[in-house]
Amino acid sequence: MVTLKWILFVILLFSIAHAEEVYQSQDDFLASAFDSIPDPQRLTISGDLSKQVKKILDHRYKKIRVPYWQDDCRTAWVLEEIGKERPITTGFVVNSQGIEKVKVLIFRESRGWEVKHDFFGHQFIGAKLTNKNKLDSKIDNISGATLSVNAITDISRMALLLHNHVTKGTC
């Protein structure tokens, strides 16, 4: 016989497994990146750029038009990639020296949440793309969070690619 306690336990377990943790809003992330937040722009991912993104992610990106914010040679991107089953929303600031900042904004997975910590994001600072669209820096894995690490590593490569595309190598 199913008891009320059992039903409540299952509901609680399901809600924990699919919890959405917001660590920082997009607006707060952008305010931390810029003295004055620039107007958002949109980049259409098509043609050769679409092929490069697909090669980085091993699939098409879910959006065709990606918002970004640019102030001179600095760009900010808020991108999403699936960890194991759910999207991880991550903010990136990129400049002419490479990645300047990485921040997990929203984490929706039941495991792998360790990527939210600053020690993980700090590994990406200064990373650039090689001519094969790989990072020129080694990113350490986190035991139990491999899929989350891979997702953020892949979209960091995408953020660098998109930055290089919109700045056209002038920065």
To which H or E segment does residue 150 belong?
helix 146-167
Residue 88 above 50 pLDDT? yes
Range list of β-strands (E), 20-147: 21-22, 40-44, 65-71, 74-82, 87-95, 98-107
Residue 14 above 70 pLDDT? no
Domain residues for the domain of 146 are: 20-167
Total number of domains in the chain: 1
163 part of a folded domain = yes
Residue 146 above 70 pLDDT? yes
Q: Is 59 helix (H, G, I), strand (E, B) or coil?
A: coil
The total number of residues written for the chain in this structure: 171
Which of 59, 50, 30 shows the shortest CA–CA distance to 151? 59
Q: What is the pTM of this model?
A: 0.87
Give the model's confidence band at 3: pLDDT under 50 very low, under 70 low, under 90 confident, else very high.
Answer: low
